[in-house]
Amino acid sequence: MSAVGTEGTPRRLRAGVVGFGWAGRQHMDAYVQHPDVELVAIAGLEDGPRRELGALYGIDAAGQFRGYQEMIADAGLDVISVATPTALHAPIAVAALDAGVHVLSEKPLAESAEKAASMVAAAHANDRVLDVSFNHRRRGDVKALKRLVDDGLLGDVYYAKAGWLRRSGIPGLGTWFTQRSLAGGGPLMDIGVHMLDMALHLMGEPRAEAVSAATYAEFGPRGRGGSSGAAQGARADGTGAYEVEDLSTAFVRLSGGATLLLEASWASYVERDQLYLVLYGSEGGAVLGSPDVWNEPQLRVLTDVHGIAAELMPLLPKDGLHAEAVDDFVAKVQQADRSGLHGDELLSRSVIVDAAYRSAEQHREVVIEPY
């Protein structure tokens, strides 16, 4: 689709959003605030929220759809955001890409590497942008650390540790989050993929060569560890079954000899919720995240200054979060050359997660073929 008006002047991109949850609303807010975008359509099955959001964002009945198929066919979109349960990412994205619409998906890319690869293939076939809104990559501490790593302050980064651990935070016990067919996995797929993305991004996108992983389900199957505190375990009729892990750990061998230790949990007996990333480099190290507050951006750089051990605390830029992810996506769509923007880099996250689950099931290291 063209982003040029009838008089040859640039026009605003026409955007649509599928999904009315928290993430979908972040995308809607970001599109409305972007000067080069017009939010023209929303899609979702819930009648009440659809009408309420339509009124909130000034979208008339013609731009409100129950199904994504109708929205893609009738709304004249340039870009679409997919903020649905994970198992719907690939069907919606492929349909949109085949219709010539650029796609911004919520994480993870898909519930399996196979489905993720189908999305990337559709982006290549139609020369459309495929992106994922990894909002935690836009944290101020991550942005500052990326610049320092790229400038060589840490030297060669050869080892990283990254994790997101919750004391009691299984999202929606008994909902799609805990059903393997809909979510693809548990905390590794849900929050661990954020830490995996941050680590690979900061380390310069090394290729994964092998994974050794383990998973555990000690809380969810007993109806414990839910974020609401309610006991909602598997029921006799089979609905609400807990089919995924509630803690995972993975050791990833990367190209060039670097390694990554990754852990993620929805529920575990830890002192407090934690979000951390530690880099070990030949010329310095870095610790990202606050030891006291789980989601407070903080960065410490460990190095030597004139031979004296020093700890630096850089001033951090403002967090960008979803708004910046949408801004980056729009900027990619506006580029004339879309090489490198078809989601190939994002596919690596799905490949690593798939390998980790296979490793856990088979109790062995899994070698990853080139992807």
Separation CA 340–CA 345 (nearest Å): 8
Residue at 6 is within a domain: no
For residues 128 and 236, membership in a common domain is answered with: no
Are 91 and 318 within 8 A, CB to CB?
no
Tell me if 267 sits within 8 A of 247, measured CB to CB: yes
On whether both 124 and 164 belong to a single domain, the answer is no
The closest alpha carbon to 153, from 112, 202, 217, belongs to 202
- Residue 297's alpha-carbon distances to 148, 153, 226, 286, in angstroms, are 16, 20, 25, 13
Least Cα distance to 322 among 82, 83, 133, 86 occurs for 133
What CATH number did the domain enclosing 46 receive?
3.40.50.720
| Residue 233 covered by a domain | yes
**Contact criterion met (CB below 8 Å) for 274 and 165:** yes
Which three-class secondary structure state does DSSP give residue 264? strand
Predicted pLDDT of residue 7: 53
Cα separation, 22 vs 134, whole angstroms: 15
Q: Determine the pLDDT at residue 174.
A: 80
**Which tokens in the block code for residue 40?**
């023209």
Closest CA to 301 of 154, 128, 99, 103: 154
- 78 and 182 in a common domain: no
pLDDT tens for the chain, 371 residues long, are: 445 554 555 789 999 999 999 999 999 999 999 999 999 999 999 999 999 999 999 999 999 999 999 999 999 999 999 999 999 999 999 999 999 999 999 999 999 999 999 999 999 999 999 999 999 999 999 999 999 999 999 999 999 999 999 999 999 888 899 999 999 999 999 999 999 999 999 999 999 999 999 999 999 999 999 986 444 444 433 446 899 999 999 999 999 999 999 999 999 999 999 999 999 999 999 999 987 888 889 999 999 999 999 999 999 999 999 999 999 999 999 999 999 999 999 999 999 999 999 999 999 999 999 87
How much is the pLDDT for 48?
Answer: 95
Residues 32/25, Cβ–Cβ less than 8 Å: no
Pairing type for strands 259-265 and 157-165 reads parallel
Alpha-carbon distances, residue 254 vs 137, 211, 366 (angstroms): 20, 9, 13
Q: What pLDDT is recorded for position 294?
A: 80
Is 3 domain-assigned? no
pTM of the model: 0.93
Q: Tell me, yes or no, whether 122 lies in a domain.
A: yes
Q: Which token pair is 164?
A: 């997101």
Residue 148, domain CATH:
3.30.360.10
Answer yes or no: do 151 and 254 share one domain.
yes
As a whole number of angstroms, the distance between CA 275 and CA 273 comes to 7
Number of domains in the chain: 2
**Interatomic CA distance for residues 220 and 241, integer angstroms:** 9
Same structural domain, 202 and 152: yes
**Residue 346 is assigned to a structural domain of this protein:** no
Same domain, 158 and 292: yes
- Distance between CA 177 and CA 224 in Å, rounded? 15
- The residues that bridge with 4 in the sheet, in sequence order, are 10
Domain containing 101 equals 13-135+324-341
